[in-house]
Amino acid sequence: MQADAVKNFIIENFLYGEDGRLRDDTSFLGSSIIDSTGVLELVGFLERNYQITIDDDEMVPENLDSLNNIAQFLKRKLNGQQPR
């Protein structure tokens, strides 16, 4: 469910409905789907949607650069674990 919400957000806001090029391991930055300001939109969405706060130090590609990375990151955040 979580992953779907994120995926839909990415498709609607960054791919404008074109979902063909998005796989779970597609790098958003590497494939030019999201630029540096787009990251802020993504963070804003995650914070609103999941009622979490994302620290500056967490805003790194390892946490946010693909659907897989986000899913892992969210899992850790929502389970109250110390994120990487």
| Residue 16 binding other proteins, by CB under 8 A | yes
| Complex with other proteins: residue 12 or 24, whichever CB lies closer | 12
Distance CA 50, CA 21 (A): 25
Shortest approach of other proteins to residue 76 CB, angstroms?
A: 18
- Going by C-alpha positions, the residue among 21, 12, 1 that lies closest to residue 66 is 21
| Residue 41 binding other proteins, by CB under 8 A | yes
Residues that bind other proteins (CB under 8 A): 12-13, 15-18, 29-30, 32, 35-41, 43, 56, 59-61, 65
